[in-house]
Amino acid sequence: MLLFTLRRFNLFLFTMVLLTILSFSLSFLFPGEQITNISGKINASPESIELIALHYGKHESILSQYWIYLNHLFKGDWGLSMTSQLPILDEIYNHLPATIELTISALFIAMIVGIPIGFIAAINHRKKSDDLILSFAMIGYSIPIFWLGLLAILIFSIQLGWLPSAGQISLLYEIKQITGIQFIDILLSDSPYKWQAFQDASSHILLPSCVVALAPATIFIRLARTSMLNVLETHYIKAAMAKGLTFRQIIYRHAIRNAMVNVIRDVGLQFANLVTLAMVTEVIFSWPGIGRWLIESIYQRDYTAIQGGLLALSCFIFLVHIFTDFVYATLNPLAREKNRGSR
Amino acid sequence: MARDNIYQEEEFPSPLVQLWFYFRQSPVVKVGFGCFIFLCLLAIFSPFISPYSPIENHLDSILLPPAWDDNGDVSYLLGTDNLGRDMLSRLIQGTSLTFGLSFIVVIISLVIGVVIGSLAALTKGMKSSFLNHFLDVILSIPSLLMAIVIVAILGPGLSNTLWAIVIVLIPQFIHITRNAVEEEFNKDYVLASRLDGANSLRILYYSIFPNIVEKLISQATLAQSAAILDIATLGFLGLGAPIPMPEWGAMLANGIDLFYIAPWTVYLPGLAILFSVVATNLVGEGMRHALKARKEN
Amino acid sequence: MAFYSSLKKAHCSFFIVMCVGLFACNSENKASLSANSIVYCSEGAPEIFNPQLITSGVTVDATSKQLYNQLITFNADNSISPSLAKSWHVTRDNKKITFYIRKNVNFHQTNFFTPTRALNADDVLFSFNRILDKKHLFHQVSGGKYPFFQSVGFSELIQSIERINDYTVRFTLNRADSSFLANLATDFSVILSKEYAEQLVKQNQMEHIDIHPIGTGPFKLKEYRTGSFIRYNPHEQYWDEKTTLKQLVYDITPSNTGRLTKLLTGECDISSYPIAHEKIKKNPKLALDNVTAFNIGYLGFNTTKYPFDNKLVRKAVSHAINRQAILDTVYFGKAEAATTILPPSSWAYNKDIPSINYSIKMAKNILEEAGFTDGLTIDLWAMPVQRSYNPDAVTMAKLIQADLKLIGITVNIVSYNWHEFLRRVTLGEHQSVLLGWTADHPDPDNFFTPLLSCGAAETGNNGNFWCNNQFDFLIQSALATTEINKRKALYMQALHILAEELPLLPIAHSKRFQARSIKIKGQLLNSFGSIDFKGVSKN
């Protein structure tokens, strides 16, 4: 396990280096002055530009410039947003938690719904219900997310009036931002309407997270189905059958656990995809997350924001990636063994 | 069955022909393939079959509902938008933008990806490990975010978003080519031709490509459905096709303000995107099935 | 096995609890909180919380009447009435105006400022000196630009402001100005707290004066989350009739459909600039209000930049645009065609003013005469927000794009977010722009000086950068007299110059619309200037 951890840590370092190089080079690639792009100070006078340039080591070699940039990142100085002139790190702190909330709950829904359905499809392999599930999965996978979001609002918010259409919580609830994760903030707050606020926040997150969850859920259906089919063909299942266990027993005691492990392995890979969907969904549902903020930033040519957002969001995805790797490794000793050998 | 051929020679169809044989077994896939061909034809001949110009305003007939509605007009079969532009013509011309361009995008990234991927397969050690990690990192960045970053560098516009999507799609082709080539290289027939004195490039071209091409095509269909969705999404966000162009995503975005008074301006482009993605996915699905069936036999 | 199944059970039960919780007891509990609170879906985010510094309607709507008061204000019948000044006196030569300030007017008390004294003459002096005195400690804070006051030539007009005693202030003017009182009653002439400013100087946070505002208005700012929402609480010690609301929230929703959706789902009580009027009228729970606004939507040409520095090109483009089609498509027939910048309801309006006619042929000829025989490409900036004078600038731009194609001009449509848009227009980055102007007071001068004077060209406030000395002289002479007929004649001449020079093409005068839930009572819209939540209630 130690070796496994070390390997992951190594990979994490490598990724961070690559990502920071990418975001550093973006400041050169984006239109306009590199110094403005990296610091975000748009209305600086020539003298103060010179000062900022010194600050960022503009006159030194590119390598030491990169090193200085890294130092800035670690110190928490990510530059200013070109439009709001607020520190990027503050903006990320304001927006990222909402995205984390949305993506994690969507991932949760997608797994809860997708994996059991996938297992059902596998158990009923080559029957009507299998076909039905597969065709549903195909459509779910093909629907453009922005269209789905609009239809969901039309049906559930306007026609049925069940769920609200926009935002994280009704603005009437005054919740102080402490951690940024709305649900935790509500529980920490001393509002007399705590419980209502909690309900309200839950009803707000339901629709967008279901919309985000649809496509990943269909992928989980397929993954779970394939994985279950593979498991059902293994020798130990046959052995269990020979022992005379009922089909139900075999599925519950042996097959689900083993099939599950294989699905978990792919969760991390699916996450990047899920974040893409979440970004668009945030726009449709006016969810105050980092995706909407990034898309706004591009309209406003806010290059500092794009760099910072890219860095923060990719880090987040990568951390989730590594986290699921760990979960997988804990659940499946074989994975740890395998990683010791050559890959 | 009587055979004219007196020699009892066995026929070995090429992998692609075999694939086609298995492919057409399923009726659903056949329908999907039919739709796919239909879309291709539409994309090529769109300027000749659309009844009106897609950017021509008919200001005397704005926001007409589709013809089956009581207020509809048969001369505008699918209705008009807020500038009186014919929805049918815009949808047809949009096929060549959203669907047609996704096709081109996939081919470009396929070619680039295969070249890099096979080169990568021929190198070993440090470089290859670096590439592996590099690809992992790139793949961990959400495709839309990557596209947004590239659009931010190049500036908004249709051609720039296309390049962005090309770049986003390349890593998966590199990945699959590299894995497939490495897998094939370990097989005996490659060893045979290596013993014949063929160099790596020759082996790659004559022995390996014919055997991995179907894998690539199946990956390409997946990539195409992603490309359609990406083009439409960027269009929807206003980063892709410029304003008057009838790209489906941009059309949908234009229709949003009319959602409550003219819902067809939102339903129709969405359906068009859904239809083309489903058709593409059906083809891809059929392809993968056929691939599996062929391997099993 | 135990692990997975129990985990799953936990998931399921959690899910069920959540759903039950959601649908069972949501509505009644929420009712208690929303009973005296209003959520207003606004179309944009304010740039700053001080209307002295801007002219954009979004900011004015969010600040002027909510957070602040003016010395004097407009009545419902457009006459000037007392506000912070309980009365005033004008000398016969119209050059000295004395204001008698109301006593016991309290400033907001917030967690960052506790006032120790009531409003007095010092605060009035501070508020105006900040604008007038370039050496004032606060003049340069937040950029040092006061576009409205610069465009009406405030600093040239005012000779001095004196403090007579604690509750009396006298303005001395260099010349008589018939629109002076009206200008003081606009949304821009707000009164700030000097005591707060002094506190900020001590804390070395001077810029907070415009970000964490303190005023005397019926509401105080509780929280602003950039680009997302503004939360106001009532001002408990308000000097006039207090609001019955417990909370007022501006939900910033730039998307037109988003605002309508929130209105339909009841997530907001009032929506600014609604679309789909028919849909709202059909809904029994909603009401659509409108008010005749004094405004003008126009196509402005950047007269300092190629190709619109050429009068002929401006003329050709003006002839080529089918404005009737714009009225039908963009305004859905709910606006009046504009012949000139003055709306017909203004007393200075005259129907004899020449208007430019729609003629492709003439447009082509003029363009040829100007030497543009083989086409031309221009940028057209379309504003991203809805305003009453232009409910959908992008669609309008598309129509103009199609019109101009007929005379061989290719149009690129450019749009930024509102903030950035105005900033860049002020810098003159555009070639032509779809903009508009809503009058702040009934005096016709409000259409001329802030929009087309040389002072306005300097600030870039209007996007034309047009400065015509003859025109300037005419509108200044019109201000110097109070005789209506003389002023009428002068404005008539000015309008003729305008029709000849065409720094902008007037398009439409439109009403301002607003949609609300029928639970909302009270007058929110005004003919002039910003919305006012003072008398609005919910039941």
Assess whether C341 and C371 both reside in one domain.
yes
Mean pLDDT value across residues B164-181: 88
What does each C-alpha distance from C133 to B141, C130, C160 come to in angstroms?
53, 6, 10
Residue A81: inside a domain, yes or no?
no
Residue A83: inside a domain, yes or no?
no
In single-letter form, the type of residue at position A273 comes to N
Assess whether C213 and C358 both reside in one domain.
no
**A162: CATH:** 1.10.3720.10
Assess whether A54 and A183 both reside in one domain.
no
Assess whether C243 and C311 both reside in one domain.
no
pLDDT tens for each residue of A130-141: 888 888 888 888
| Rounded-to-integer distance, Cα B156 and Cα A306, Å | 14
Residue C534: inside a domain, yes or no?
yes
> Which backbone phi and psi does C538 adopt, to 5 degrees?
-135, 140
Q: Nearest residue of C to residue B244 by CA position?
A: C398
Q: Identify the CA nearest to C52 among candidates C127, C133, C140.
A: C127
Assess whether A66 and A153 both reside in one domain.
no
Residue A219: inside a domain, yes or no?
yes
Assess whether A190 and A321 both reside in one domain.
yes
What does each C-alpha distance from C137 to B125, C141, C157 come to in angstroms?
67, 8, 21
Residue C69: inside a domain, yes or no?
yes
- Cα A145 to the center of its chain, rounded Å: 16
Residues of A with CB below 8 A from C258's CB? 166, 286
Mean pLDDT value across residues B80-92: 86
Residue B260 structure tokens: 């409550």
| Rounded-to-integer distance, Cα B95 and Cα B92, Å | 5
Question: B59–C329: do the CB atoms touch at under 8 Å?
Answer: yes
pLDDT tens for each residue of C465-514: 888 889 988 888 888 887 888 888 888 888 888 888 888 999 988 888 88
Assess whether C359 and C259 both reside in one domain.
no
Assess whether A168 and A245 both reside in one domain.
yes
Structure confidence at residue B8 (pLDDT) = 61
| Rounded-to-integer distance, Cα A232 and Cα A234, Å | 6
Per 3-state DSSP, chain B is made up of helix, strand and coil in percentages (nearest 5) of 70, 0, 30
Structure confidence at residue C274 (pLDDT) = 87
Domain range for C482 is 295-512
Please check the confidence at residue C24 and state whether its pLDDT lies above 50. Answer: no
Assess whether C378 and C450 both reside in one domain.
yes
More confident residue, C18 or C516: C516
| Rounded-to-integer distance, Cα B37 and Cα C300, Å | 49
**C108-127 burial, b if ≥16 CB within 10 A, otherwise e?**
bebeebebeebbbbbbbbbb
Assess whether C380 and C263 both reside in one domain.
no
- Cα A11 to the center of its chain, rounded Å: 19
Neighbours of chain B (3+ CB pairs under 8 A): A, C
Assess whether A224 and A335 both reside in one domain.
yes
**Ranges of H-type helices in C57-120:** 57-67
- Which residues, listed in sequence order, are joined to residue C336 by a DSSP beta bridge? C509
Structure confidence at residue C20 (pLDDT) = 43
pLDDT tens for each residue of A290-320: 998 988 888 888 888 888 988 898 888 888 8
The answer for residues whose C-beta is within 8 angstroms of residue C308's C-beta and 6 or more apart is C301, C302, C314, C317, C378, C431, C432
| Rounded-to-integer distance, Cα A301 and Cα B127, Å | 36
Question: B244–C278: do the CB atoms touch at under 8 Å?
Answer: no
**Confidence class for position B121, pLDDT limits 50, 70, 90:** confident
More confident residue, A310 or B123: A310
Structure confidence at residue A333 (pLDDT) = 74
Question: Which of C255, C259, C273, C275 to mutate to test binding with chain B, by most B CBs within 10 Å of its CB?
Answer: C275
Structure confidence at residue C150 (pLDDT) = 84
Sheet of C295-301, strand order? C335-337, C504-510, C295-301, C432-438, C376-382, C409-414
Question: Which of C395, C403, C405 to mutate to test binding with chain B, by most B CBs within 10 Å of its CB?
Answer: C395
Assess whether A70 and A94 both reside in one domain.
no
Assess whether C399 and C258 both reside in one domain.
no
Please check the confidence at residue C73 and state whether its pLDDT lies above 50. Answer: yes
Structure confidence at residue A338 (pLDDT) = 52
Q: Name, of A18-22, A58-62, B270-274, the range with top average pLDDT.
A: B270-274
**Confidence class for position B110, pLDDT limits 50, 70, 90:** very high
**C368: CATH:** 3.10.105.10
Please check the confidence at residue B50 and state whether its pLDDT lies above 60. Answer: yes
Residue C523 structure tokens: 């007058």
The DSSP code sequence of C347-398 is TT--TTS------HHHHHHHHHHTT-TT-EEEEEEE-SS-BTTBS-HHHHHH
Q: Tell me the count of A-B CB pairs closer than 8 A.
A: 114
Mean pLDDT value across residues C362-374: 85
The answer for residues whose C-beta is within 8 angstroms of residue C356's C-beta and 6 or more apart is C315, C318, C319, C499, C502, C505
Contact status of A318 with chain B (Cβ, < 8 Å)? yes
Structure confidence at residue C14 (pLDDT) = 44
Please check the confidence at residue A148 and state whether its pLDDT lies above 90. Answer: yes
Please check the confidence at residue A7 and state whether its pLDDT lies above 90. Answer: no
Mean predicted lDDT score pLDDT of chain C = 84
Structure confidence at residue B7 (pLDDT) = 63
Assess whether C322 and C352 both reside in one domain.
yes
Assess whether C175 and C310 both reside in one domain.
no
Assess whether C524 and C493 both reside in one domain.
no
Please check the confidence at residue C45 and state whether its pLDDT lies above 60. Answer: yes
> How many domains in chain C?
2
Mean predicted lDDT score pLDDT of chain B = 83
Domain range for A17 is 2-74
Please check the confidence at residue C535 and state whether its pLDDT lies above 60. Answer: yes
pLDDT tens for each residue of C370-413: 888 777 889 999 988 888 888 888 889 988 988 888 888 889 88
Residues of C with CB below 8 A from A256's CB? 1, 4
Lookup result for tokens 């209630």:
C537
| Rounded-to-integer distance, Cα B114 and Cα A136, Å | 33
> How many domains in chain A?
2
Please check the confidence at residue C153 and state whether its pLDDT lies above 60. Answer: yes
Residue C284: inside a domain, yes or no?
no
Q: Nearest residue of B to residue C395 by CA position?
A: B83
Assess whether A163 and A305 both reside in one domain.
yes
Structure confidence at residue C458 (pLDDT) = 78
Q: Identify the CA nearest to C327 among candidates C358, C359, C360, C291.
A: C358
In single-letter form, the type of residue at position B145 comes to L
Residue C280: inside a domain, yes or no?
no
User: Å from C250 to nearest chain B CA?
Assistant: 21
**Confidence class for position C124, pLDDT limits 50, 70, 90:** very high
Structure confidence at residue A336 (pLDDT) = 65
Mean pLDDT value across residues B141-165: 83
CB C391 within 8 A of CB C275: yes
- Which residues, listed in sequence order, are joined to residue C378 by a DSSP beta bridge? C411
Assess whether A132 and A277 both reside in one domain.
yes
CB B211 within 8 A of CB B118: no
pLDDT tens for each residue of A95-104: 899 999 999 9
Angular region, C254: left φ>0, alpha ψ -120 to 50, beta rest = alpha
Assess whether C423 and C486 both reside in one domain.
yes
CB neighbours (10 Å) of residue C395?
A: 20
**C185: CATH:** 3.90.76.10
Helix (H) or strand (E) holding B124: none
Lowest-confidence pick of A38-47, A156-165, C98-107: A38-47
Assess whether A94 and A34 both reside in one domain.
no
Which of A164, A174, A300 lies at the smallest CB-CB distance from C416? A300
pLDDT tens for each residue of A167-221: 888 888 887 777 878 888 888 887 777 888 888 888 899 999 999 999 999 989 9
Mean pLDDT value across residues C177-183: 85
Question: B57–C413: do the CB atoms touch at under 8 Å?
Answer: no
Assess whether A43 and A187 both reside in one domain.
no
The answer for residues whose C-beta is within 8 angstroms of residue A111's C-beta and 6 or more apart is A217, A220, A263, A267
Q: Which of A40, A74, A108 is a domain's end point?
A: A74
Contact status of B168 with chain A (Cβ, < 8 Å)? no
Assess whether A243 and A134 both reside in one domain.
yes
Assess whether A263 and A238 both reside in one domain.
yes
| Rounded-to-integer distance, Cα C510 and Cα C456, Å | 23
Residue C52: inside a domain, yes or no?
yes
Q: Nearest residue of A to residue B275 by CA position?
A: A142
Burial of C87 (0-12, 13-18, 19+ CB in 10 A): exposed
Q: Which of A43, A74, A105 is a domain's end point?
A: A74
pLDDT tens for each residue of C280-298: 888 888 988 888 778 889 9
Please check the confidence at residue C19 and state whether its pLDDT lies above 80. Answer: no
Residue A175: inside a domain, yes or no?
yes
Residue B74 structure tokens: 């048969």
Please check the confidence at residue C18 and state whether its pLDDT lies above 90. Answer: no
Contact status of A30 with chain B (Cβ, < 8 Å)? yes
